Each structure stands twice: as structure tokens, then as C-alpha cells.
Structure 1
Amino acid sequence: MNKASLALILHAHLPFVRHPEHEHFLEEDWFFQAITESYIPLLRTMRRLLDEAVPFRLTMSITPTLCAMLDDSLLRQRYVEHLDRLIDFVMRERKRNHKHPQLRTLADFYLNMFRQTRAFFVEECKCDLLEAFRQLQTAGALEIIASAATHGLLPLLQAQSGEAARAQILIGRDSYVDSFAIEPIGFWLPECAYAPGLESILQEANIRWFVLDAHGLLFGEPRPRCSVYAPCYTPSGPAAFARDADASRQVWSARGGYPGHPAYREFYRDAGFDLPLERLGPVAR
């Protein structure tokens, strides 16, 4: 029986948001929520696997804009303040729901989660999640790959200005070197969008492989013998790995994926919809 390899590749990206002129800026909450509910849980899981000597290999892209925010001292400080507001709110919710066991249990869950998250960020990581990712890469458990400078849609940019697409890739490569002190090997195309000619720029950036959407291979000429289940080398050199459509639907689809399951938490429904403004306190700012 032929052996196969499963490549787990995660893509981490957020647009750059930083507004020091405002004490609290709504869009910064997107960044804070991603730290709390994605980046820190992922880091804690990977560290636990290392501590338990469980062998694993994971690949992850961290875009330049996200690296810049993770490395920003003001946003780090504001994230701790964000957690403190949430902890204060949940403690008040525990008191308010002391006669409602289900809601009290829910408040207990979030209080524990926010406290653990704060301790991990401040005490274990010294408020530097980028360094935590670097350590995992040094340990050989995580491979971090590069992406475009500002997540620009490269085929569109290339059609309008070849230099714009080239700048996105080369600046993305340079930003990676600044953040991780090594040359990147892999590259995540924003939105997995590919057009012929991009591989030449990737080769110029010394990229050995990149990720594109499934139809980028399936509709290519010549047709790939192994469909999306093996990489294809481009004429310029870099290998193209196609994203698996079925796996993507499991993550994104509201019908066939886990976001559509009744047990999946509704992200856009919380106490902010149910409580009067005065009870929300600082979290409503």
C-alpha cells in the first residue's frame, strides 16, 4: 500500500488595526478576540504536546500585518486591559446569576478561561506571542511560512501592475525575515488566489512552495495526474500545493461544516444583546 502524508496548514491573518488616538477602538477587539480564541489556545495546545513528548508537525502562515500587531507594545498593553474588563464583567455575571445554575456555570467557564488566558499571556509568554511561535519553530514542531505584505489579491494586482504584485511578495518575504530571522520556504497566497506568472516572483523571493485553491491545479494545463493530492512543480521552480475543498468545507460551511452544528457557539450572540447598557459596564465602550 502506498503511503501518504497529511499536511495541516493553518492561515493566520488580520488586517492592521491600531488607533492610539482612541482609548478604545472597536476594530481592535477583532484582534483581541482572535488572540483569546485562536492564537493562545493553539499555542497552549502545541506547548502541551511538546511537554508530553507527543510528536507533531504543523505548518502555519502568519501574515506581516498580524506579526506587526503581535509585536506592538500598545496593542499588547490594550489586550491585557481588554482581558481585565472581561474578567470584571464575568465576575459581575456570576453574582447576577447566582440563582440560575446554567448561567452561573457558563460564567464560571468564561471566568476560568479569561484568567488562564491572561496568566498565559502575561506570565508565560511575557506578552510576546510572536516569540512563543518562534520557539515552536526552533523546536521543530511548527513551520511558519510567509504571505503577502498586506494580503493583497495578487492576480488582481498583477493584472493592474506587475510591480505591485511583486512588491507584495518581496516585502512579505522581507517582513518574514525581520520577524523570524530566517528565510521563508513556503508562502500562502492571499485567498489562495493564483495567476500564471506569480511563480516567477515567488522564485525570485527564494520560495520553494506555495498554497493555492483547488481549481488552480484542477483546471491547469496539463491536468495533474494526482488531482489535488500531490504537489505540482511550476516551470519556474516552486511547487504548488492545492487546498483540499472537502476539508475547507468542514471549516467554513454553515451547512456541511462544524459551524452549522447546533453545538457550535453563536459568535454574534452574547450578553450584549440581552442586558441593559448600564449592566454591561466598561465592556460596552
Structure 2
Amino acid sequence: MNKNIAFIIKANQDFVRHTESDVKKNKPILNSFFESISNVYLPLLDMLDNFEKEGLFVKVGLVLPPVLCSLLSDDAIQTLYSLWLDERNEVGKNELSRNSSDSVLVKTIESQIERNIYLKKLFEETYKKDLIKAFADNAKKGYIELLGTCGTDIFFPHYTDMKEIISAQVESGLHSYRQIFGFIPEGFWLPDFGYTPGAEKLIKAYGYSYTIVDARSLLLAQKMPSKGIFYPVRTENSLALFANDPDCYDDLFDEENGFVNAPAYRNEKRDIGFELELDALQPLMDKNTARFATGFKYWNKDFSKDGSEGYYSQDDAFAQAEKDAASFVEKRVQLLTKASEAAGDSDFINLVCTFNSDDLKGWNESYKWLEFVLRKVMQSDLSLVFCKNLLEKQYELEKIAPYFSAGNGTGYGENLLSNRNSWMMRYVRKACERIVDLSDRFPNDTGLKTRLLNLGAKELMLAQSLNLAKMIENEDYADYAITRFKDSIEAFTIVFDSLGSNTVSTEWLTTIEMKDSFFPWMNYRIFSKKK
């Protein structure tokens, strides 16, 4: 019996305004985005290239949200990222002078500077600034399976009674993938595993073959699958379902026992960006800019010496990453071995491990840990697979009715509708009602009205993003998230009022179109009621 394991990385990114007037204001958010490029996307591509050079064939699933693809393809963003690396190294040079008497710190600083130089070389010379093409090339080679998803990260259970809204999100994501990659993926990624009964009909209607759900969605179903989470099942309309590994996140990121707490790893909470005078952080930060991380972090997580950290050692951290990778793989080997013994005459058993780019970005050694994991899986009796390759018997799979579930909170997404962020819902749902009405009232309009309606559709999709609610709940750039949400709702309201009064400021319309320059193909009619 084959024991299979699939790895899927969900990239996570909302649209960030980056016109000349917005760059300075949004610098902390852009910094976070660029860290995702440096800590996740470029290392992943580099790792796959190295595996190819070694003749090792690995398989990794990847979810690239349409908004992220739009940002990565933007010339202005590409220029800003290169400049950002240069500005970080300017700070690094200042740090070399400031710490010249400490040989250990000098080595750490030099290592970070060299890393930034290498990343810039990868970005500009190896991948010609076109990371989307690099990912597409790896998909053609068979190293990556690209999964589709919604236009923005909408939480399906919040819109159970609004089928047109969910349908529009699925359709916009599908259209994006067709525009960007030239094909329709087989797998669909449910944002934050937010499943609500009936979603399977909309997903399957757009040609997807399978999706991933939280393990609780299967285990709490009225009829629990006979093979639990270790074998795909299907819904009534034969959309295949895979369950995520429920222990994966805790094994890595649990606050007490997760791998990331190992003393050897870099302390991500200690960064000179929050400790030095702003004058010492130029040109990366301006005096009137909110502080953010610079990447120059000198301490590990070893608090055994009088409660203070020790110096960070990359060699020690990578050794720890290899050790933790071995533990991670061994646990999955044991789990799948026990599952195979209980599965009877099953042709295979399977486990799906999913990772969020935001979590990986915040763990400096994550890219090295993932490389070790893939190597150790290939050395074990497990097989690396894509989920799409396990669907030969899709229409013979066991049928179930999945339960409501989510990958947030305690499994029900309650943190997306808390006392901190619940105020957002009344605005976004009212806008949802209005866009459906507008798309039916103006089915064949052209010119200025079409531009207005398309802008309104885009602004609504931005406001629907669950990431804004999470940022507010977690107090992670909450002020930015609140402003971003209000800007989108205000823009949508202006669109609605302008269509009602039959007047519009073309200057305002052009300005907002330039600021929110994603999805140039947008057609507001995707929100119309399906006949």
C-alpha cells in the first residue's frame, strides 16, 4: 500500500496601493510583502532549482492568489523590491561600522548583507524579475501543482445566503488563472478552509475537481469517512475532498511546543528596526514612518543565561532545522504506517500538510526546514504526491456531507466576526446586495458606467478579504486594515451614488483606478444573478 504525503503552501497577500503618493504611507505593509518575497517565494524557487540540478524530483502544491500575481507582475513593485534590498544593505553597512568591534555580530551582519545580494541576483538575473513565469515554468516541469482560489480571500460561511457573491469570487479567481497561467487548475483552495454547505456546487460548476477542507469538516460530518482523513472522499456532486493534517500547524507554530521555539532559532521579535534611533535606519525608514523590521536580527531564542538571549548562529539554527525536519517526517511516517494497518485493502493512504506563507515568513529558517523535510521524505518509504494525481477513482470515492468548518479560531472562524471586527460585516454585506442589484440594473452598459461598475466590483472584493478582519483582530497593522477597508467601502459607495445620480468625477475615477490597479480584465457582470 502506497503511503503518500502532499505539501501545499498557501501564499497570502492583499493588494497594497503603491502609486508614488502611497509608497511612503504604506511602507510598513510593503516591507511585509517584500519579506514574503525574500523569505518564501524566492527561496522556494531557488530550492526547486537546486533539486532539479541534483536530479531530485520533488512535488509541492502552491496557491498563488490572483492579487499576489497582480502585484508580482507590476513593474513598479519589481523596482521597489530591488530598491528595498539596496536600502536594507545600506542599513547593514551602517551596522558594520557600529558593531565593528564585535566579531560575532560582524559575521551575522555580513551574512545578512550577502543574503540580500544573493536574493537580488536571483530576482534580477536568474528570474528576470518575473516570479510568476518562474512558478509557471516549475509547474510545467512537474515540480509545482498550482491550485486555484478566489479573487480575494473571502470567508464563504459569511456569505452562505449570497450565492452570487461566492460565485463571483470563484469566477474571478478562475479567470485570473486563465489570464496569467493559461490553464484551469484542478484543485481549488478554500480561503481559510471556510466551508459552508452548498459551496461544493459552485466550486464544481467552474470545473474544479477537488478542494482541501479542515479535518473537522470530515470528522464531524454526520457520516464520518471510513478512512478518516487519510483518504479522499467526495460530495454529493462528486467534488473530491482532501483533509488537511490537523497537527501540522501546532507541530511547527504552537506557542509552547512548536519547532519555532527552539533556542537555536533566530529571535524574530528582536530587530534593530524597533531598537535604534531612526537616523540610524535611513534610507530604509523615514523619520515620519512607522517602524518595521529591517532583517538585521542578532539574537537567538535561548533565554537560559540570566533570561537574556544569546547571539544567533546560522550554523546552529540550520542544524536544529534538520533535526526538527527529521522529527516532523518521522511523526508522519508513524502516523501513516498506523493508518495503513487500519485501512485494510486500500490502494493508498494520504496526508495533506498545508502551510501559510505568513507563518513561514515569520520563521527565518523555514525555507531550510522545508528543504530538509522534502529530502527526508524522499529518503523514507513515503511518496511525495500532488493531490490531483490521487483522483483516478474520483467517481467511486465515498460520499459524505461535510460539516461547517474553518481554519481559524477554534475551527469555526469566530475570530473573523469578533467584537473588534464585526462592525465591518454590515457594510460589506450591504455592498454585496448593491452590486448584485447594480449588475442586473445595468446589464449592457458601456463607457463611463462600465468603468464605474468594474471599479465598484473590485473595491467590494478588496473589502471582502478576511485578511483585513484578521489584521484587526490580531492588532497586526490594524490601523492600515481599517483604513484599507473604509477606503474600499467609501469608493464603492461613491460608485453607487454616482450611478444613482448619473454624475461622476472622471478625475476621481481615474485616480482610484490607478491606485487599485489590479484585475484590469474585471467585468462587474460576474455578480449578476445566474439564470
SS of the residue aligned with 1:135? Answer: helix
- Of 82, 85, 105 in structure 1, the residue corresponding to residue 84 of structure 2 is 82
Q: Which residue of 2 aligns with 1:234?
A: 235
> What SS class does the counterpart of residue 152 from structure 1 fall into?
coil
Quick one: which amino acid aligns to residue 101 of structure 1?
S
| 1: CA distance, partners of 2:266 / 2:66 | 30
Q: Counterparts of 1:212-251 in structure 2 under 5 Å?
A: 212-251=213-252
> What is the 5 A alignment of 1:30-109?
30-109=32-111
Cα distance, 1:126 vs structure 2: 0.8
Give how far 1:252 is off.
3.0
Q: What is aligned with 1:177?
A: 178
Who is 2:493 aligned against?
A: none
The residue aligned with 1:194 is 195
Structure 1 stretch displaced more, 267-276 or 59-68: 267-276
For residue 160 of structure 2, give the secondary structure of its aligned residue in structure 1.
helix
Please give the alpha-carbon distance, in whole angstroms, between the structure 2 residues aligned to 1:178 and 1:140.
Answer: 20
Quick one: which amino acid aligns to residue 76 of structure 2? L
Match 1:154 to one of 153, 156, 159: 156
Equivalent pair of 1:231/1:241 in contact (CA under 8 Å): yes
Per-residue CA deviation, residues 122-141 of structure 1 (Å, 9 max, x unaligned), is 11111111111011001111
In structure 2, C-alpha distance between the alignment counterparts of 1:65 and 1:107, rounded to whole Å: 34
Report the alpha carbon displacement of residue 23 of structure 1 after superposing the two structures with TM.
3.8
SS of 1:196's partner is coil
How big is the shift at 1:250? Answer: 2.1
* Aligned 8 A contact 2:18 2:77 in 1: no
Where 2:222 maps in the other structure, the secondary structure is coil
Query: How far 1:99 sits from its partner (Å)?
Result: 0.6
Task: Tell me which residue corresponds to 1:22.
Answer: 22
What is the root-mean-square deviation of aligned Cα atoms in Å? 1.2
1:242-264 per-position Cα deviation (integer Å, ceiling 9, x unaligned): 11111121233222222222233
Corresponding residue of 2:133: 131
What TM-score, normalized by structure 2, do the two folds share?
A: 0.52
Preserved contact between residue 13 and residue 65 of structure 1 (Cα < 8 Å): no
- Distance in 2 (CA, whole Å) between partners of 1:258 and 1:66 is 28
Tell me what 1:273 maps to.
Answer: 274
Aligned 8 A contact 1:18 1:75 in 2:
no
- 1:107 is matched by which residue type in structure 2? I
Q: CA deviation at 1:172?
A: 1.1
Matched positions, count: 283
Q: Which letter does structure 2 place at the counterpart of 1:85?
A: E
Cα pair 1:147 1:169 within 8 Å, conserved: yes
Computing the radius of gyration from Cα coordinates, the structure with the larger value is: 2
Q: Which has the higher contact order (CA 8 A, sep 6+)?
A: 2
Residues in 2 aligned to 1:253 and 1:169: alpha-carbon distance in whole angstroms: 32
Q: Which residue of 1 aligns with 2:2?
A: 3
Listed as ranges, the gaps of 5+ residues in structure 2 are 287-531
Contact 1:258 1:264 (C-alpha < 8 Å) held by counterparts: no
Q: Percent identity?
A: 28
Report if the CA contact (8 A) 1:158-1:164 is conserved: no
In the TM superposition, what is the alpha-carbon distance from 1:93 to its structure 2 partner? 1.1
